[in-house]
Amino acid sequence: MKFSELNDKELLQAVKPLADHTEASWNNKSYGDFCHYLSEQFPEDEFNRQLEDSYDKLGAHTLTDLVAIHRNPENVIAIWKVDFEKRKDQGLLMYCFIEVEGKPLIAGCTYHS
């Protein structure tokens, strides 16, 4: 698979399941599952710190509407609106995907609430 050869629909079919899996893993507070599609190791202590900092305030995340797809030469950025279990206002969740040996992986993820 080459990101550059995929239309938006095909691209989303390839990467959205990774984002959904990662969000479900976050919601279940499962570090091992959370790291499954990451391109690089994510420190467990950082995972726990982020849970402690935000989970009690925001609760579970649920991806909703796609906001944008941005293609760069080395990666693809997908931005979704995100609902928070404990907050009325939506936020934005930005995923950076890269190709490794023809498969998509998550190079980074940030949310803005």
Give the closest residue to 82 by CA, choosing from 44, 32, 26: 26
- Predicted pLDDT at 34: 96
- HEC string for 7-53: CHHHHHHHHHHHHHHHHHHHHCCCHHHHCCCECCCCCHHHHHHHHHH
Over residues 90-113, mean pLDDT? 94
Residues 6+ apart with CB under 8 A from 41: 35
Question: Considering the domain 3-112, what is its CATH architecture?
Answer: Roll (3.10)
Q: Is there a contact between 96 and 108 (Cβ–Cβ < 8 Å)?
A: yes
- Predicted pLDDT at 36: 97
Domain layout of the chain by residue ranges: 3-112
pTM: 0.92
Q: Is the model's pLDDT at 113 over the cut of 80?
A: no
Over residues 55-69, mean pLDDT? 93
Q: Is there a contact between 35 and 46 (Cβ–Cβ < 8 Å)?
A: no
Q: Is there a contact between 87 and 1 (Cβ–Cβ < 8 Å)?
A: no
Strands 76-84 and 103-112 come out as unpaired
Task: Indicate the pLDDT class of residue 1, thresholds 50, 70 and 90.
Answer: low
